[in-house]
Structure 1
């Protein structure tokens, strides 16, 4: 397809972005062109927008960013057989090599040569996006486009929560950004006996409660360690899902986990974090997991089924909708923490 489209472009190495008219991408023989119907703002997009240390070292403007979306296939390459024009799709945002030791042993989500859509390549804050067909996930016809657009970040929540046993266990979710909020819903659906959400933001703690958190703790207003001890009869929590990336909160996570417990870390601290390995990991016999991306495509199956069954309802945390042109309002809300998930509609 030839022509022009509107896109949100990270135009320079500094704060912000701008709406531009750019060429509609041309697809290769193994790629698909998708008309974007809904695209949601991720914490990673906020890092790029505000131009923090991580994005400064990783991102090379100018380019179109954004990586969470849903849409409709409008054109397919000559070698594409898994989707057809008219199909409703979302996408796994990690483009993997298929040849490294990790890929060859089925661990695609930790491919050594991963490229991320909207970080290392042009993304989906646009009217159209071109992607490898192998990265596409077909959505049910009746799934709303806004719900379909948040499956990728929900996959992060599912991967983090379900990377160990959850049923009957106490689970702490530290950091209630949109993924943390979804993690509360996933933990509850998976049979956690308690889901304790911790954050400094009362607005987002309330969203976590709506999604399934059984208790919420504002760590700025009360001692989170004392509160967790009270909720767990002095034992600490079985599972910590670290979503905040804040050194103090991360430290508290290691202190509140019980002996033999699990700490699964999805967050991306911008600097090295000091942890008391001796007392909070070794002597406690704690399992620590780094969580990246989603298992391809096991996690997508789990996400799709949790949504279809109604066991997890993400609608409470989709709080704002804007036209693509009004992207700056969405980013402002994300930066201020006065929202759940913000969805843009090209």
Structure 2
């Protein structure tokens, strides 16, 4: 880092409805870490839940075992940028490398890590949720998180690799490529599941949602059939009609509710699979029908070994993920133009990217400052002092 550039801005989570744009020291790259100048950071549904009514995943009472961090911490786990500093013992990367960040911590020692299943590591967590993340001008992360980008892969594309990885891992969990799939829930991950299924040349892709705008977007991304979920209990019957009474081979549940799980099971053929991607606390099901139909329910969490394939698909096959981006905002307006827009908007927003190089002309306006107070850490690490 050059002299005089030792401070940065970051979005710091303090509690529900309390995310502040803070000024803080630029972190140093520790042993095995790289310091990244962040280009873009996407807003994930997990970030939105933490803002709306967290904490959910953010450690508050005790530090996370992998990161050693607890709240307040910097949000953002969908990010990319340029390597500007290498910590001791880092090899395979150089300053100036453009990288996509795979933000999951792993210990490398537990049985699942040793088996290569690091997404279910005993101490698994995400930078940006369980440790400081990428909604900041700079982020220090373990070097194993950084994937170098070819020249023909833009940083805008790289900012979408994290949610695309969730979709890709779910498709892998489904097993062999089926003839007919259904995706229920067309948020970013659901739409990316549609796009990647189309990339795999799945012949029939049924998209289900309550939003006509999202159904239209799914069609543009490769869905062959669109079902308005406002049909309620008739969704499963309608899908069976589309498939000659058979049902789909695989259904992806990307909402996280009992009703959508029931829809998936109703619409899946005998011997078919339902892949659970959405998060829900508890769900009940008809186990008698499940057994008689010999259906399988498979869970999919996070991802592993997905970034190399996504980089290849973008670089060599021209896969374009950017149609999911509906808005790009400045860090200064993260709360009003990001979180609040997603909570209160009409539902037309899909993926909002934060451009860390941008400065909004709204900075200092009442709209921009509401909920985004500038803070300055006290000497000695005391409680930040708010300055208007």
The Cα shift of 1:142 comes to 2.5
CA shift, 1:52, in A, is: 4.5
Q: Does 1:19 align with 2:30?
A: no
Q: Could you tell me whether the CA contact under 8 Å between 1:166 and 1:187 is conserved in 2?
A: no
Following superposition, the deviation at residue 301 of structure 1 comes to 2.2
Q: 1:212 maps to which residue? A: 222
| TM-aligned CA distance change 1:310 to 1:19, over 3 Å | same
Q: Tell me by how many angstroms 1:58 deviates.
A: 7.2
The CA distance in 2 between the partners of 1:212 and 1:232, in whole Å, is 18
Q: Is the 8 A contact 1:166 1:190 kept in 2?
A: no
Partner in structure 2 of residue 256 of structure 1: 267
Among 129, 132, 139, the alignment partner of 2:142 is 132
Matched residue, 1:200: 210
1:81-125 Cα distance to aligned partner (Å, 9 max, x none): 121100000111111011111111121121111121111101110
Once the two structures are TM-superposed, the CA of residue 331 in structure 1 deviates from its matched residue by 1.9
Note the residue ranges of structure 2 that are not aligned, 5 or more in a row: 62-69, 357-388
The corresponding residue for 1:46 is 48
Paired residues of 1:47 and 1:55 also in contact (CA < 8 A): no
Q: Any conservation in 2 of the 1:247–1:274 contact (CA below 8 Å)?
A: yes
How far, CA to CA, are the matches of 2:143 and 2:55 in structure 1? 32
Query: Whole-Å Cα distance in 2 between the matches of residues 71 and 56 of structure 1?
Result: 24
Range 253-262 or range 327-336, more displaced: 327-336
Q: Match of 2:30?
A: 28
Give the secondary-structure state (helix, strand or coil) at the position aligned to 2:51. helix
Match for residue 287 of structure 2? 277
CA distance in 2, matches of 1:232, 1:278: 24
Where does residue 298 of structure 2 map in the other structure? 289
Q: Is the 8 A contact 2:153 2:314 kept in 1?
A: no
Distance of 2:196 and 2:60 partners within structure 1: 31
Does the 8 A contact of 2:206 with 2:225 survive in 1? Answer: yes
Shift of 1:286: 1.6
Pairwise CA distance, 1:16: 4.2
- SS in structure 1 at match of 2:21: strand
1:142-181 residue pairs with structure 2 within 5 A? 142-165=152-175, 167=177, 169-181=179-191
Task: State the aligned residue count.
Answer: 341
Matching residue of 1:244: 255
Computed over aligned residues only, the root mean square deviation of the Cα atoms, in angstroms, reads 1.8
CA contact (8 A) 1:174 1:243 kept: yes
Asked if structure 1 preserves the Cα contact closer than 8 Å seen for 2:105 and 2:125, the reply is yes
Structure 1 stretches lacking a partner, 5+ long: none
Match of 1:327 among 304, 310, 334: 334
Q: Secondary structure at the match of 1:69?
A: strand
* Deviations, residues 169-207 of structure 1 (Å, cap 9, x unaligned): 110011111011011011111121111111112222222
Partner of 1:345: 355
> For 1:115-167, what per-residue CA distance to the aligned partner results, in whole angstroms no more than 9, with x for missing partners?
21111101110000000011111111222211111101101101112323454
The TM-score, its normalising length taken from structure 2, stands at 0.83
Matching residue within 287, 298, 311 for 1:304: 311
Counterpart of 1:75 in structure 2 is 85
- Residues 95 and 340 of structure 1: CA distance in aligned 2, closer, same or farther (over 3 Å): same
| C-alpha distance in 1 between matches for 2:23 and 2:58 | 25
- Rounded to whole Å, the distance in 2 between the matches of 1:55 and 1:42 is 13
Question: Is the CA contact 2:177–2:202 (under 8 Å) kept in the aligned structure 1?
Answer: yes
d(CA) in 2 for partners of 1:181 and 1:333? 20
CA contact (8 A) 2:160 2:322 kept: no
